Amino acid sequence: MHVHAFIQEMECLAPPELAEDFDAEKIGLVIEGRVDISRVCCALDATPYVVKKAVLASADMLVVHHTPLWTPITAITGRVAGLMRALLSSDMNLYVMHTNFDRASEGVNDALAELLSLKDISPMSIGCIGSCTLSPVEISQRLGGNCRLWGKVKKIRRLALVAGSGFDPAFLEEAKALGADTFLSAEMKHSVARTAPLPCIEATHYALEAPAMQRLSTRMGWQYIDDPPALQIIP
Contact set with a second copy (CB under 8 A) = 25-26, 28-33, 45, 47, 66-67, 69-79, 81, 84-85, 88-89, 91, 136-137, 139-141, 145-152, 165, 186-191, 193-195, 201, 204-206, 229-235
* Smaller CB separation from a second copy, 47 or 117: 47
Q: Closest distance between a second copy and the C-beta of residue 63, in Å?
A: 15
* Smaller CB separation from a second copy, 105 or 141: 141
Q: Closest distance between a second copy and the C-beta of residue 120, in Å?
A: 24
Nearest in space to 223 (alpha carbons), one of 91, 9, 63, 100: 63
**Exposure letters 158-193 (e unless 16+ CB within 10 A, then b):** bbbbbbbebbeeebbebbeeeebbbbbbbebeeebe
* Smaller CB separation from a second copy, 105 or 127: 127
Give CA–CA dist 192/169, Å, rounded.
6
* Smaller CB separation from a second copy, 5 or 231: 231
Q: Closest distance between a second copy and the C-beta of residue 221, in Å?
A: 26
Q: Taking the mean position of all CA atoms in its chain, how far away is CA 78?
A: 26
Q: Closest distance between a second copy and the C-beta of residue 25, in Å?
A: 5
**Around Cβ 208, how many Cβ atoms within 10 Å?**
28
DSSP per-residue codes, 92-135:
-EEEE--HHHHHSTTSHHHHHHHHTT-EEEEE-SSSEEEE----
* Smaller CB separation from a second copy, 36 or 91: 91
Radius of gyration of the chain (CA): 19
DSSP 222: P
* Smaller CB separation from a second copy, 2 or 219: 2
Q: Closest distance between a second copy and the C-beta of residue 88, in Å?
A: 4
Q: Closest distance between a second copy and the C-beta of residue 51, in Å?
A: 13
Residue 92 DSSP SS3? coil
